[in-house]
Amino acid sequence: MTHAEILAAAGLSKSDLTGGTLAVHSPIDGAEIARVHETGAADMPAIIARSQAAFRVWREVPAPRRGELVRLLGEELRSAKAELGALVTLEVGKITSEGLGEVQEMIDICDFAVGLSRQLYGLTIASERPGHRMAETWHPMGPVGVISAFNFPVAVWSWNAALALVCGNPVIWKPSEKTPLTAMATHKIMERALARFGDAPEGLCQLVIGGPAVGEALVASKDVPVLSATGSTRMGSIVGPKVAARWGKAILELGGNNAMIVAPSADLEMAVRAIAFGAVGTAGQRCTSLRRLIVHRSVRDDLVKRLVKVYASLPVGDPRKAGTLIGPLIDAGSRDRMLKQLDKAKAEGGTVHGGQSVEGVKGGAYVTPALVEMPGQTATVCEECFAPILYVLTYDDLDEAIALQNEVPQGLSSCIFTLNLREAETFLSAGGSDCGIANVNIGPSGAEIGGAFGGEKETGGGRESGSDAWKGYMRRQTSTVNYSSKLPLAQGVEFPV
């Protein structure tokens, strides 16, 4: 299909794609595929006010009924999976299976949230006072702002929106300026679900497109009590304090510098497959991408030899073509940063395999993945570069390997390949990985929606998606009912009047 056919199939009209000020380019060939209209910063107060008005209605709708809207959204996503997945590939450069996989992730979180809509449980707590009942309940918070990044242009919105909606909150979405088209197509899908639902308040789900000024309006507004922001650590260091200063709740999903420890007992065939996808999937542009390989000295040479061979065979090119495993970086700026990072690694004593620009592919920023043998965990290794660079480090005992893994500022995802039960359990213990995600004999990327997603340290501490991440979109209320005829005070306090 041509670019125009993909855009049309995703439901985007000529008026959606022309006449605006924001130019959108496909990383596949660098072609400009749209000029979309941006939301004015001056329009944001009215948009936020509509969301607040919607909140006052939506919070009174029973949660299972709210879940019905998300169920309908899941149905609409199933019907549009192929078209939206193709648009993800066109606008982000993901290979076809990854574009479709991102939409499947949206469908999965809708399924999760529908069940959740009947399970927003509180607690009954034993009271120390006779004739009293103490309970904990959860209530909606208000408008949720979602600022998403280019690399998962629609899935991150769905993680937040599906949960926020069943929890009783409206959503205002600001996508990356690099990927507004997938957001526009998703918003049209949401509008179809809203039309089928029938009685949702106006302003329940809104889309705003633009640069920092639009995002700043969400970050600064006290009428947006929850702000979910996905992006760089630098961005989070700005957003987090601003939201905290107005007493809002920030859900931050920031950088990752994820490691795999390969132990002497590891199944190297499995490890190689996990390394390949973890390090080069999405052209290394996942927050959970594998960036550091910490290998036991006894298996290091064998593993590196295998990886050099695998890396040299990985097909790089047009992500729409069958057999391609590595598509383009999002833009030329990302390619240039990658090449500069490799120069820094060389200056620190690194030996680089791969990591070159691919010639002969028209327009896009295509590179071969880089495997870099490092003499130690240098300053460059501790930086996250959003590109397919994998640094190889060596260790002699497990404590050393865990220390190397935990030394970096980021704390998102981690894994170990070992057949030794003690090593696996040590890695998962309080003295093991300090990351929000820790896997055994599985790579660091490709998390399921059933578990809470997020990390520690400079990754931000936020949690989205599964488990009890829903609590981040609600406020907790502890209540006590006295059904006796007396008024005892807690802690045995006496106050006769």
Active site residue 76: no
Q: List the chain pLDDT tens, one digit each, 497 residues.
A: 899 999 999 999 999 999 999 999 999 999 999 999 999 999 999 999 999 999 999 999 999 999 999 999 999 999 999 999 999 999 999 999 999 999 999 999 999 999 999 999 999 999 999 999 999 999 999 999 999 999 999 999 999 999 999 999 999 999 999 999 999 999 999 999 999 999 999 999 999 999 999 999 999 999 999 999 999 999 999 999 999 999 999 999 999 999 999 999 999 999 999 999 999 999 999 999 999 999 999 999 999 999 999 999 999 999 999 999 999 999 999 999 999 999 999 999 999 999 999 987 778 999 999 999 999 999 999 999 999 999 999 999 999 999 999 999 999 999 999 999 999 999 999 999 999 999 999 999 988 999 999 999 999 999 999 999 999 999 999 999 999 999 999 999 999 98
Tokens, residue 303:
């593993």
| Alpha carbons 379 and 306: distance in angstroms, whole number | 27
Measured CA distances, 130 to 254, 482, 488, 489 (Å): 48, 9, 8, 10
Strand order across the beta sheet in which 389-395 lies: 351-354, 370-373, 389-395, 290-296, 258-262, 413-417, 437-440
What is the value of pTM for the model shown?
0.96
Using CB atoms within 10 Å of the CB of residue 43, give its burial: 0 to 12 exposed, 13 to 18 middle, 19+ buried.
middle
Catalytic residue among 205, 287, 415, 435: 287
Active site residue 435: no
Catalytic residue among 91, 102, 105, 253: 253
| Alpha carbons 131 and 485: distance in angstroms, whole number | 8
| Alpha carbons 272 and 274: distance in angstroms, whole number | 5
Contacts of 311 (CB under 8 A, 6+ apart): 276, 280, 353, 354, 368, 369, 371
- 482-490, long-range: CB < 8 A, 24+ apart: 482/129, 482/131, 482/132, 483/131, 483/132, 483/133, 484/130, 484/131, 484/132, 485/131, 486/130, 486/131, 488/129, 488/130, 489/129, 490/128, 490/129
